Amino acid sequence: MFIIRMLLREIRHRKLNFISALIAVITAVGLFVGVFTACEASRRETVRLMRNMGFNLIIVPEGTDMVDFWSQDYARKEMPEEYVHRLANSKDLSIQHLVARLQKRIEWRGRKILLTGILPEVQMKYLPAKSAMIEAPEPGTVYVGYELWRGTDIQVGQEIELGDKSFRVAMRLEEQGTKDDIRIYGHLHDVQEVLGKPGRINEVEALGCLCLGDALADIRQQLARELPGTHVTEFRSIAIMRAETRKMIENYAALIIPAILIVAAVWVGLLALGNVRERRAEIGVLRAMGVSSWPIAVLFLGKAVLIGLVGAALGFVLGTWLASHFGPQVFPLTARKIAPMYSLLSWSLIGAALMCVVASYLPIVQGVMQDPAQVLREE
């Protein structure tokens, strides 16, 4: 009770010092929580943006001439459509977002075009369901590339002929500046019927994590076990860009968060040092009256712990508000996922209290270990 009474008197007597230290901790914890929450949102936003760049793996039949593949934009060899479902049921493959395609160059209205059939995305069975990366056309509908509808009378809702079948134009695609501008996309089963290739595909696109080690070699080994007779290759530039962007976000968090904590710790330590120096005379009187150094040290350390706990609680509220208020404006794709991270509250309480104790320890030890007779003589 003596220590508690002394602690409360100390706080009342030195309000400005207490408030200044409290502001330091609130600022540090608030920035820590805000930045950490924002970094999590940034990571999710980056993953979503990188994912929207497209697939980075393509699985083709074994023996495909890759020179021919890159020049034609599709594999001439084919494989069963059932392969994509076999991949989805595998638990050993580190890939996801499987999309089966059947593609071929055909002549349409006097032009050479790429006719592409897409099966709606197949999810890996062992992974939680995720939003699809692409939207496949509904059966009986097609998406028409920019160069194929530009300058023509093709309108959304209009019927066009492909082979001996009619399809409704569900979308006129915007200009991409790639060969997608000369594509007509349809549902896989419709295109299989048009091309006379039921149950056949010539590629499977997928998304894989290729940012660690020789991940492509590992995926190839996995695929050789699960689906012999196929070959996987990667879009290297997309994989590198994904990996480098994620590394940049991680490095940013690793730099900014420790900097915030160091500045706050120095701030609290300097305030503690100033407080102890201002109280040299009082400490000397207490020591001269027979009060041991231990209760005096506990008094100052208790104050540091109290500052840490109160500052952490208020800082958590501040940081959460900053993240929830400004986060949706900065990270619109993942705005709905920006929520209070209550796991940070316990870490903030413990970390802030320890930070204040460590920052205050040396000034306190220096103050309570001084010779009371010398202090009183100087005063």
Question: What pLDDT digit, counting tens, does each position of 354-373 carry?
Answer: 877 777 777 666 666 665 55
Nearest to 85 by CA among 166, 188, 204: 204
The better pLDDT of the pair 155, 334 is held by: 155
> Are residues 298 and 274 part of one domain?
yes
CA distance 42 to 246: 10
Cα dihedral 166, 168, 169, 171, rounded to 10, equals: -140
> Are residues 306 and 194 part of one domain?
no
* 35: three-class secondary structure by DSSP: helix
Among the three residues 234, 252, 277, which one is the final residue of a domain in this structure?
A: 234
> Are residues 44 and 160 part of one domain?
no
Is there a domain that residue 379 lies in? no
Is there a domain that residue 239 lies in? no
pLDDT of 68 reads: 82
Question: What pLDDT digit, counting tens, does each position of 291-312 carry?
Answer: 566 666 777 777 778 888 888 8
Among the three residues 188, 215, 234, which one is the final residue of a domain in this structure?
A: 234
> Are residues 256 and 353 part of one domain?
yes
pLDDT of 227 reads: 81
High-pLDDT (> 70) share of the chain, %: 65
Question: What pLDDT digit, counting tens, does each position of 103-142 carry?
Answer: 999 999 888 999 999 999 888 777 766 766 778 899 999 9
Is there a domain that residue 378 lies in? no
CB 355, CB 309: distance < 8 Å:
no
Question: What pLDDT digit, counting tens, does each position of 248-279 carry?
Answer: 666 666 667 677 767 766 766 676 666 666 65
Least confident of 20-34, 48-62, 94-108, 339-353: 48-62
368's tokens: 């309570």
Indicate whether 192 pLDDT > 80.
yes
pLDDT of 48 reads: 57
Q: Which structural domain, as residue segments, surrounds residue 136?
A: 57-234
Q: Considering Cα of 132, then 118, then 90, then 63, what sign does the dihedral take? A: negative
Indicate whether 317 pLDDT > 70.
yes
Mean pLDDT across the chain? 76
pLDDT of 159 reads: 93
CB 276, CB 300: distance < 8 Å:
yes
CA distance 172 to 190: 18
pLDDT of 328 reads: 62
Question: What pLDDT digit, counting tens, does each position of 37-81 carry?
Answer: 766 666 665 555 445 555 778 888 888 888 888 877 788 889 999
The better pLDDT of the pair 56, 149 is held by: 149
Give whichever of 240-244, 296-300, 335-339 has the largest mean pLDDT.
296-300
Is there a domain that residue 65 lies in? yes
> Are residues 105 and 210 part of one domain?
yes
Among the three residues 234, 259, 289, which one is the final residue of a domain in this structure?
A: 234
Q: Which residue has the tokens 């459509």?
A: 81
> Are residues 303 and 218 part of one domain?
no
> Are residues 346 and 290 part of one domain?
yes
- Contacts of 209 by beta carbon, 8 Å cutoff, 6+ apart: 94, 215
pLDDT of 171 reads: 93
29's tokens: 């914890």
pLDDT of 230 reads: 86
pLDDT of 191 reads: 94
pLDDT of 194 reads: 93
The total of other beta-carbon atoms located within 10 Å of residue 269's CB is 21
pLDDT of 140 reads: 93
